[in-house]
Chain A
């Protein structure tokens, strides 16, 4: 089983709302990732969690707040977003965060900020 699940599939939120994106994997992977993907562009890395600890923040604005409650779950908390934050948000996981371990992606959450 190489499945990464994400909820919700679609999300529309206003600039003053607070919402959360959820990601789950049951492959025993110890690294989990958040990516942002704009239309017709490749994914851009946002955060990396390794063994439930935040190891990389790619200079992401503080209105995006990641959380890893346990080794299977990854959340992305959203607050005071801007319309330009509208994008597909992808979660991925890999056995470890070292090179050579392939990343498996979820289906994404399509976020629209109004």
Chain B
């Protein structure tokens, strides 16, 4: 199918690292994004990566991109209870405005 796939659920202990994975659909996608959505709220842009990069680090967040496998991951270091939320990856296809969102991963951080 054409879905951008994410695992549904991830549970980690406070202070551990979290890794959220995303398999996207189009090898020509030029921008890939990570958004966070807390309950009852909108989507908060966390970070993004351009397709000519393999890795991007921003404070506790590390994004890894494997273009060959069309695999994107978001690592959150020192995960806190405030990181509990749903995380969506999104790809922007070359030449279009349109985001294709992943199915979302619910991260639960245990104290």
Residue of A nearest to B88 (CB): A42
Q: A4-B42, A103-B45, A105-B45 are in contact. List 6 more A-B contacts (CB 8 A).
A: A42-B102, A90-B42, A97-B97, A99-B96, A100-B50, A104-B45
**What's the minimum C-beta distance from A57 to chain B, rounded to whole angstroms?**
13
Residue of A nearest to B41 (CB): A107
Residue of A nearest to B33 (CB): A102
Residue of B nearest to A50 (CB): B97
> Which of B30, B40, B96, B102 makes the CB contact (< 8 A) with A110?
B40
B-contacting residues, A1-60, CB 8 Å? 2, 4, 6, 31, 40-43, 45, 48, 56
By size class, the interface of chain B is 20 to 34
Among B33, B94, B99, max chain A CB count under 10 A is at B99
